[in-house]
Structure 1
């Protein structure tokens, strides 16, 4: 499937644009599942001002979607209509230390690099990011967390660009964090940087905690597979993986998609899976868990685009 090429219209509307626009760019190679159709237009801005410039001149009827490292994402087989923004490069990939035991990061920075930068500076409180396979932009969207910590614990503020091209800074309170979610949608703001609060710590103790997180993740999760990380949020009063296991879903397959034998809350592409296979498998898991336990599982993985 391909979409109409609207890149000439976008360049005409924003003639001073410096970033890259690619029509019908395949997204499968940009996601950890390695599935999905094309982005109608994939936009990689040169910097924050370039992003603001295009958004300010973008026709209101064109939807905007933001993707990061693609670790917690299913792109459906029909692809994503409209403008897909993917931040990268130095403009969105810098990490800076600031006064008061603070660290500022661009949103394209992988979470693990933030954990490492904090450890190098002997800043405690950010080691949990070592166990999250994504980037800071996704962490802001999903209040990402692991191993006893989550983004809401350390975020001071987030900076971004609105759909109208305005630069804004949101306080922690304005982010509206809840479990694995924030109140700010990609339709409203494209996040460009985040400011975190650390605390003085012992570097060796911080590195040891990061090693513990790494070992625990390698022992319990299928990190060498084509997967999207934790599939479902833990419901109140239960653990998703235990509910899935109890419903007899360990190893369950649809097409090339399978529930991991290693960790039941991970779906994997065994080779040749489509996005529809993976999403259908997830929905079948939800149905069986509901029938067996009464619990309603909710997707943690983001699903974008249209069916083929």
Structure 2
């Protein structure tokens, strides 16, 4: 089990060059104003290349059960978290939740101490892993776009007591607007609620935009262009998405979802009577009340401490 002192020791073990990459007070203030933050180069080319190679093995069906998750993931209804050799993905977006649990080369990136340290500075709180999503956006072919629809992450995390979770998006290469990089809606975390009607899986970006509840604020879209090793962080209430990949190579990335120390499981019922549920609920241990324990030391390890 990773303790607070263990993570604190790792934070102190960051090199001077790594510590120089932590957000400044001005960066933190800007993050809370806009809802997103672009880092410097947190990862070396070698670290990113290792993750990319791990993703290739994952897609080929070569997985490792280091965290003891394979059986639980395979048993989840209507899910295919564990890819099979020869899977034909077609010309569409690929999204594999919990990929790092089956790929050590991805886990090294997802659980990197510098990533946790940056997130802790932005959140002003301790940081635990929530979960991750391996993403692959193919080149647009035959007019078929693999957009990521406008959405908030909070819309999919209704069982979280905290509304201050955040996500680190890490491309495995340089990523610009032509490649369909992640795009933020500036300041949207301060708008009225937008967690119900938006949809990650929709290609209809214009239709989704028409549903924005802006509270009278202008819609300002900010494509976050990144060099290899840089990371884009965003608040869970920030509306974001991305357009088609118009480059000549697939867009490869991983989204690392992170929870602040105040987060706990919270019972939630949708207006139509459905009970809130997250796939993580079927992985983690239960707490003393029989509820999912989002501080599970295996699946939700402590990654960063408030400094």
Which has the larger Rg?
A: 1
Higher relative contact order (CA 8 A, sep 6+): 2
Q: TM (normalized to structure 2)?
A: 0.30
Q: TM (normalized to structure 1)?
A: 0.30
Larger strand share, 1 or 2: 1
